[in-house]
Amino acid sequence: MSHFTHMKTSFQNLFYLEKALNRLNIEFKQQQTAAESEELSTTNLVIPQSNGYDIEFAWNGQVYELIVDISFWEQPYPIESFIDKVSKQYAGEVIIGESHKMGFQPVKYQQNVDGSNTVVLERWNQK
């Protein structure tokens, strides 16, 4: 018997979530949810697993929840580490993306040995 777990996340932006998964070399596919009107349809992200019990980031109206059957988890690291890795990468993508909108350019993006990330941004005055 399988028990799907819905894990709360703070991922609100599909674009940055996709960029984070890409940077981590996690393969995923987009899945459109059916809705009565096309305006209400949403895009979820599905991470296929070879056992058929895929991992899904599903939009709940506020954030992308992680939906997974923990008893069929097939990733190379525990689920807590998975969420941590994605969260750190997502945060970096948000910082870079939103800073870019304000005129900043990334100069350096480094993943440190301790698991943290360093982001250096610069912006030149237009005067």
Q: What is the pLDDT of residue 38?
A: 59
pTM: 0.84
Q: What is the pLDDT of residue 39?
A: 64
The one-digit pLDDT tens for each residue of the chain (127 residues) are 456 677 778 899 999 999 999 999 999 999 988 766 556 678 999 999 999 999 999 998 899 999 999 899 999 889 999 999 999 999 999 999 999 999 898 888 888 888 788 888 898 876 6
Q: What is the pLDDT of residue 110?
A: 83
Q: What is the pLDDT of residue 31?
A: 93
Structure tokens belonging to residue 62 = 């506020």
Angle between the N-to-C axes of helices 79-101 and 14-23, in degrees from 0 to 180, rounded to the nearest 10: 120
Q: What is the pLDDT of residue 2?
A: 55
E-only strand ranges, 1-127: 4-7, 29-32, 43-47, 55-59, 64-69, 105-111, 117-122
Q: What is the pLDDT of residue 97?
A: 92
